[in-house]
């Protein structure tokens, strides 16, 4: 593995751990040339379905884009990176088990909303307001009622 700091290929693994689900290996590495440490992640290469956008264009599934969407909704919210990793893994698991070669961006958006609703209600509302393109206060109020604890008791 090439060192990201000095470019030397002489690095050593200092520590190896599995994540909670056992599907990702985290390795702490140390460069033998510059003594700096860095982390790498190893996961099985899988083929997720292509994403069909609203305009009909097809694009490859992008884990980084999915993660960035979750992180943006969860910005300044008390949610750990491990919880975000778990949400991304959950979404990817659902995409894989669907058996589909293509999924719509709307399907991916609904999966994101489902995960955000479990993680943080404020982040869910943030994402929903953009994703569902609320046109008025009533639509926004309805989304808040969906996650409000008092509305679930009735």
Q: Is the dihedral of CA 102, 107, 109, 114 positive or negative?
A: negative
**Which residue(s) pair with 104 in the sheet?**
52
Tokens of 55: 């305009």
Positive or negative: CA dihedral 13, 65, 107, 61: negative
Encode pLDDT of 106-138 as tens digits.
999 999 999 999 999 889 888 887 777 666 666
pTM (two decimals): 0.61
Q: What is the pLDDT of residues 42-99, one digit of tens each?
A: 987 778 899 999 899 999 999 999 999 999 999 999 999 999 999 999 999 999 888 8
């Amino acid at each position: 593995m090439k060192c990201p700091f000095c470019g030397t290929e002489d690095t050593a693994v200092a520590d190896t751990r599995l994540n909670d689900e056992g599907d990702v290996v985290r390795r702490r590495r140390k460069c033998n040339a510059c003594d700096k440490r860095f982390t790498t992640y190893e996961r099985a290469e899988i083929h997720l379905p292509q994403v069909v956008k609203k305009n009909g264009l097809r694009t490859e599934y992008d884990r980084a884009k999915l993660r960035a969407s979750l992180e943006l909704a969860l910005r300044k919210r008390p949610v750990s990176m491990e919880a975000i990793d778990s949400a991304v893994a959950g979404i990817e698991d659902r995409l894989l088990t669907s058996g589909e070669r293509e999924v719509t961006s709307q399907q991916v958006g609904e999966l994101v909303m489902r995960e955000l609703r479990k993680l943080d209600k404020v982040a869910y509302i943030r994402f929903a307001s953009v994703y569902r393109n609320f046109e008025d206060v009533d639509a926004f109020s309805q989304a808040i009622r969906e996650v409000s604890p008092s509305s679930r008791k009735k």
